[in-house]
Amino acid sequence: MTVHLHRFDLPEGLTFEGALAVDTETLGLNPFRDRLCLVQLSAGNGTAHLVQFPEPRYDAPRLKSVLADPGLVKIFHYARFDLATLFHHLGVMATPCYCTKIASKLTRTYTDKHGLKDLVKELLGHDLSKQSQSSDWGAPELSDAQQSYAASDVLYLHALKDQLDARLAREGRTELARACFDFLPTRARLDLAGWSGEDIFSH
């Protein structure tokens, strides 16, 4: 695993093709209260690029361009939260997107364990450490443990997508998953507009 830490934006000349794993670290789970501290990216090649925001300054034109690139599929785990956070702080809706949590729920109906750690363990045979999950991501300097944890959240998403795509195809749910992924930007906007805890499709 190779980790590159950048501040406030990606470096010039860094490009990605095809699919890009994306994750975020924030101070909490409320986008209006808790600021975005870190954006993690990986092309699935064992390298992670971490863009740190040690203060709430979100110009980041190169990062925004990558996230907005319609030719790049952005792979998330629980895309609903990350899309809302990125849209609220960076003003970019990171589409087209793919969510491994949704794909897991559509295929692994034999379990209620759809966390990233559970998926990586069952489908890829690796144990992820979540020791640094609840830590101060707004600190001016990120520890090596924090950087390793943040990188691990994106390094396995491409491999998980491959496994889950095969299961979606096997169960005849590929198109259903695609429709869910296409709806995620709207779901994120609904969350930000105040409907996060309400099912607007219910009676």
Q: Could you tell me the two tokens for 124?
A: 């890829």
Q: Which residue type does 160 have? A: L
Sheet of strand 47-52, all strands in order from the earlier edge strand to the far edge: 2-7, 47-52, 36-42, 19-26, 73-76, 97-99
Please state the rounded mean pLDDT for residues 106-134: 92
pLDDT tens digits, one per residue of 15-63: 999 999 999 999 999 999 999 999 999 999 999 999 999 999 999 999 9
Count of helix runs (H) and strand runs (E) in the chain: 7, 6
CATH class of 2-195: alpha beta
pLDDT interval class at 180 (50, 70, 90):
very high
Please state the rounded mean pLDDT for residues 122-146: 91
Residue 131 pLDDT > 80: no
How many other CB atoms are found less than 10 A from the CB of residue 44?
Answer: 19
pLDDT at 202: 94
Separation of alpha carbons 182 and 82, rounded Å? 15
pLDDT at 1: 87
Residue 200 pLDDT > 90: yes
pLDDT tens digits, one per residue of 69-110: 999 999 999 999 999 999 999 999 999 999 999 999 999 999
Residue 170 pLDDT > 80: yes
pTM of the model: 0.97
Domain ranges, ordered by start, for the chain:
2-195
Contacts of 152 (CB under 8 A, 6+ apart): 1, 128, 129
Q: Give me the chain's average pLDDT, please.
A: 97
**DSSP-derived 3-state class of residue 49:** strand
Peptide bond into 11 cis (omega under 30): no
Separation of alpha carbons 129 and 132, rounded Å? 8
